[in-house]
């Protein structure tokens, strides 16, 4: 949608009577109300994971880091850190920028540094320190890989 059209729609909605906006609001689905403010996000954040396909969840986390949305990332990490640690124990690897990461936390930490997402980086660092220990960044076994052999 064009920016001008969004401004027109927003101005039109602000001119509606309060009674009418309350009636319209009651008909909005909960999945739309989640994104309106923090109160609805906190009440219904359990619905977000069901809205995102399982094979796209990591992409959702990466897009949150790219936008430096610390509030959303805080909830996602607290919900999923046990799964990510299980993946780490089971040796699931993540590839990015010619490196192979042994844990998703290491990967998103590195990605937050690349994207200059300082809020997200601090949140990841805090949770990783709780899970792995104070020197968790030294346990990162990111190794480089090449897509083809060179002689």
Confidence of residue 3 (pLDDT cuts 50, 70, 90): low
Could you tell me the pTM of the whole model?
Answer: 0.71
Count CA atoms within 13 Å of residue 146 on its CB side.
4
Tens of pLDDT along 31-61? 888 888 888 888 888 888 888 888 888 889 8
| pLDDT at residue number 142 | 57
Closest alpha carbon to 76 in 37, 105, 53: 105
């Amino acid at each position: 949608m064009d920016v001008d059209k969004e401004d027109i729609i927003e101005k039109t909605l602000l001119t509606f009577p309060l009674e009418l906006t309350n009636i319209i609001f009651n008909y909005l689905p909960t999945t739309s109300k989640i994104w309106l403010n923090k109160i609805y996000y906190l009440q219904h954040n359990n619905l977000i994971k069901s809205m995102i396909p399982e094979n796209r969840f990591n992409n959702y986390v990466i897009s949150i880091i790219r936008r430096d949305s610390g509030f959303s990332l805080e909830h996602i990490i607290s919900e999923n850190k046990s799964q990510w640690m299980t993946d780490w124990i089971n040796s699931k690897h993540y590839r990015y920028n010619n490196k192979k990461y042994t844990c998703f936390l290491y990967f998103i930490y590195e990605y937050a540094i690349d994207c200059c997402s300082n809020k997200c980086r601090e949140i990841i660092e805090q949770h990783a320190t709780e899970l792995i220990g104070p020197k968790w960044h030294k346990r990162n076994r990111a190794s480089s890989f090449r897509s083809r052999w060179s002689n």
